[in-house]
């Protein structure tokens, strides 16, 4: 799918390999800017693990050995995306000053979860 014809300010990445990798990078950069205290350390670790595993699991799906294997790995991508949404909610709660960044990243991971859902839903 081409990005041509869209407003230059509204550029979407349709390459899921790149999009999931970029999301993982964004999660890492976001996490670097959260204060490191007793509550946040655990949540930061969780969001980095789930947020970066989306892309890793997508790479696994891309190299799947069968259709069943592909669907299974895409289902893991969806599960990790949903978990990442949860951690953004927790970070927003413990760091109200980060709520706008959490919303932006939450929206992207929500879109990824919807894409993965559409890839594994049964065809009619």
- The CATH number assigned to the domain holding 106 equals 1.20.1440.60
| Largest Cα–Cα separation, the chain | 50
Contact (Cβ atoms closer than 8 angstroms) between residue 34 and residue 44: yes
Q: What is the pLDDT along the chain (124 residues), one digit of tens a residue?
A: 233 344 445 455 479 999 999 999 999 999 999 999 999 999 999 999 999 999 999 999 999 999 999 999 999 999 999 999 999 999 999 999 999 999 999 999 999 999 999 999 877 6
- Tokens 């294997």 — which residue? 69
Give me the number of domains the chain comprises: 1
Contact (Cβ atoms closer than 8 angstroms) between residue 70 and residue 58: no
Let me know the angle formed at the C-alpha of 45 by 41 and 51, rounded to the nearest 5 degrees: 140
100 assigned to some structural domain: yes
Enclosing domain of residue 112: 16-120
pTM value is 0.85
């Amino acid at each position: 799918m081409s990005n041509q014809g869209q407003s230059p300010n509204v550029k979407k990445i349709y390459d899921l390999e790149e999009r999931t990798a970029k999301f993982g990078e964004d999660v890492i950069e976001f996490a670097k800017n959260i204060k490191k205290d007793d509550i946040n350390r655990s949540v930061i670790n969780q969001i980095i693990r789930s947020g970066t595993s989306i892309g890793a699991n997508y790479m696994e799906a891309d190299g799947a050995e069968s259709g069943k294997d592909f669907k299974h790995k895409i289902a893991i991508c969806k599960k990790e995306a949903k978990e990442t949404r949860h951690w953004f909610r927790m970070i927003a709660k413990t760091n109200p000053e980060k709520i706008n960044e959490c919303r932006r990243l939450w929206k992207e991971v929500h879109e990824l979860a919807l894409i993965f859902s559409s890839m594994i839903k049964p065809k009619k």
